[in-house]
Amino acid sequence: MRKFLSTTAAAIALAFTTVPVANAADLKVGLVLTLSGPPGALGKQAEDGFNLAVEKLGGSLGGANTTVVVVDDELKPDVALTRVKSLLERDDVDIVVGTIFSNMLAAIYKPVIKADKILISPNAGPSTFAGEKCHPNFFVTSYQNNQNFEALGKYAQDNGVKRVFMLAPNYQAGRDAMNGFKKYFKGDIADEVFTPLGHKDFSAEIAQIATSKSDAVFTFMPGGMGVRFVKQFDEAGLSDKMTFLSAFTVDETTLPAQKDAAVGLFGAGTWAPDFDLDRSKDFVSSFEAKYGYVPGSYAMQAYDAALLIDSAVSAVDGDVSNKEGLMAALKEAKFDSMRGTFTFNNNQYPIQDFYLLNIAKRADGKYQTEIAEKILENSGDSFAAECKM
């Protein structure tokens, strides 16, 4: 009952209505995010980022009377499926925005597509739907999973790393991570270890790393897994002995708990809070002023997803019943992204730049990722050629 009331309250709190514009129809957007437990920090960033964009746009997207309904997938595929069916059948949403984790996207993808609704992922970007299984109704405002890791592999290859120990959770994004890194890195791989999703104790893996004679460790450990791994890695004295390369292991969702243990480690991404762009700086300052914490890529990508929807609905003069026009406008992506230029590839995953990110402690005591150098420019993912759109 508590969970039902919480979800209902969130839906009511995020309902926005405005004065109708000519030809405007009602627009309903359903957010499917992980909001429970330690991984909920990722979903909270996305929820707050999307909510902030709607607020800054005056409470509507593209002039349509907008209602936003938020549901928690609890990082459980069966729950994600139940919740998205409720969004489709009870709430009759026009657009579904989700998810954070790739296995949750796999759970909701078919029901949304079968219902002929638009699905926009603000984070999960599995290879599964980037190639042969791409679909006109599916858009991604983040990246294809492999790409962040491809950037790290290129950095390692270009900077003389000889031997790497690789570690990731055993689900689609983890497998994409491993494959992405190996696209550019051609050195010696000491081992490739997969852990369960939600792994809690890394002592055995730390021992393997310590004796692997590697000069770098590559890992993808999002959320609470990243907090635990980095702390154990630092406690073992490995931070000063090898290069630490990761994506989503040290970021704005994990840094408040990792603190100094993460400083000096490397990540990769398309954006960081210090991104040198006026509208991005405004987004960061507005976000921190409203929510009191530093936004990461999860918040930025959800913010961009709202701006994308706003641009498309505006293009059809608020008439969301014009499905063909709406989807064409989404594909054009005529909005001002927080990461600068934003273009969709033929598979409707972004073409964008990727950067090496350094972890830093700010003068105010908060921690954030910061851009160190550009690794890949105008990078399209490896699976777009398989997409027939």
pLDDT at 10 over 60: no
Residue type, 97: V
pLDDT at 208 over 60: yes
Q: Are 316 and 326 in contact (CB under 8 A)?
A: yes
Half-sphere exposure of 94 (CA within 13 A, CB side): 22
pLDDT band at 100 (very low <50, low <70, confident <90, very high): very high
Distance CA 29, CA 50 (A): 11
Distance CA 207, CA 359 (A): 24
Judged by DSSP in three states, 209 sits in: helix
pLDDT at 16 over 70: no
Distance CA 259, CA 250 (A): 10
pLDDT at 3 over 90: no
Q: What is the pTM of this model?
A: 0.92
pLDDT at 266 over 60: yes
Return the closest-CA partner of residue 318 out of 18, 21, 19.
21
The whole-number average pLDDT for the span 358-365 is 96
Specify the length of the chain in residues.
389
pLDDT at 23 over 60: no
The whole-number average pLDDT for the span 319-336 is 97
pLDDT at 24: 52
Q: Give the list of residues 6+ apart from residue 98 with CB closer than 8 angstroms, or none.
A: 30, 31, 32, 33, 73, 84, 104, 105, 108, 119, 121, 122, 124
Q: Are 268 and 352 in contact (CB under 8 A)?
A: no
pLDDT at 11: 47
Distance CA 280, CA 296 (A): 12
Residue with more model confidence, 19 or 168: 168
pLDDT band at 365 (very low <50, low <70, confident <90, very high): very high
pLDDT at 15: 45
pLDDT at 122 over 90: yes
pLDDT band at 5 (very low <50, low <70, confident <90, very high): very low
CA angle (237 as vertex; 231, 238 as ends), nearest 5: 85
Partners of 351 in the β-ladder: 343
* Domains of the chain from N-terminus onward: 2-143+276-344 (3.40.50.2300), 146-269+354-386 (3.40.50.2300)
Reported as a single tens digit per residue, the pLDDT across 107-118 is: 999 999 999 999
Burial 192-216 (b: 16+ CB within 10 A, else e): ebebebebeebeebbebbbebebbb
pLDDT band at 309 (very low <50, low <70, confident <90, very high): very high
Residue with more model confidence, 20 or 322: 322
List the single range of 83-87, 197-201, 308-312 with lowest mean pLDDT. Answer: 197-201
